[in-house]
Amino acid sequence: MSGPTIEHIELRRISLPLVRPFQTSFGTWTERDILLVRVVSDGVEGWGECVAGTTPTYSSEYTDGAHRAVREFLGPLLLGRPLAAAAVAPTLAPFKGHRMAKATLETAILDAELRGAGRSMAAALGGTRTSVPVGVSVGIPDTLDDLRRIVEDHRAEGYRRIKLKIKPGFDVTPVAAAREQLGPDVTLQVDANAAYRVDDPDQQQALEDLDPFGLALVEQPFPEEQVLAHVDLAARMRTPICLDESILDRATTADALSLGACSIVNIKAGRVGGCLEAAAIHDLCVEQDVPVWCGGMLETGIGRAANLALASLPGFKLPGDISASARYWHRDVVTEPFTVDEHGRMAVPDGPGLGVDIDIDFIESVTTAVDEVTPR
């Protein structure tokens, strides 16, 4: 067997408190229990970050489950194999689901592979931009006054696109307050995280009542399996419908677009199994002239660097949820935290692999457990 092989896979759990609580329709986060994966090959290492949450509320995946899946099933299949990110998905295909765990491994392997080749992840994926417009996601606050202050602060920080989390009972009134505070020039969109019920007329009406506020999109109002409900809503609303949780891979994207369930797609590499599948979804959407944007999952600088590489592809026409490190973390796990410039843009790392230097001393200080993959 020629070329470098995957010699070692380390699983590391770290705990990071958020700068402020982040509330969505499915819960409130005050810290993240994060699974990091480190791959070693021929003296080069690569890192990946799992975006799964502590509980299976955003999706069926969760941190403990991803850890076990990597250690017991996915990782052993990759040990000793060539260091080739393109081979990860077909190698792991016998195991169903676990896309976030698979994406973590693929990212770490791709990082190591590209660091060894001296090539950036953005270039490898087909990125064409050195910086990208970015937005910020605002969790559900305690009061409308808090909401007005938060969105105003984010506008002052340079963000030109603000996304509000909504849920039944917290939708029309807060959106009206945010739009009044921001005026017409700031792009505003909302994300329901699948919180609305198809069989509730009041909830359906609340979604339609968002039309007058000039929103860029309404993201994933209904559960991921209810694609036809999105088709129906899209036909009734002027505001574009965007799918997030329903987009699992290129095939489900093609189905959703052919049905008219959405006209914009949120691409999250972790949700679809990795950056390579995410790039394939991007290519499909470009072929059909469908705008895409890069979603976020409260990533550290490791996941944020991967998101920026993906968002540098030409079809990412809308600002992604890739806000500054300081938005979420008192200290990031990379040596140079990510920042937003005065034009609401963030630089795409151009160094080898992810293009970031890992702050291993800090990671060691917040590590709660270390594990490794062993041969089966």
Residue numbers annotated as active site = 165, 268
Residues paired with residue 17 on neighbouring β-strands, in sequence order: 31
Percent helix / strand / coil, the chain, rounded to 5? 40, 25, 40
Handedness of CA 159, 162, 165, 171 (dihedral sign): positive
Compute CA distances 278 → 111, 229, 245, 313, whole Å. Answer: 16, 24, 14, 11
What is the C-alpha end-to-end distance of the chain, expressed in Å? 20
Token pair 């590209």 is found at 114
Residue 225 neighbours by CB distance under 10 Å: 10
Which amino acid is residue 138, in one-letter code?
Answer: V
Q: What angle do CA 194, 234, 229 make, to 5 degrees?
A: 50
- Rounded to the nearest 10 degrees, the angle between the axes of helix 227-236 and helix 250-259 is 40
Cβ atoms of residues 213 and 241 within 8 Å: no
Q: Tokens for 113?
A: 């592979």
Rounded CA separation 112/363 (Å): 18
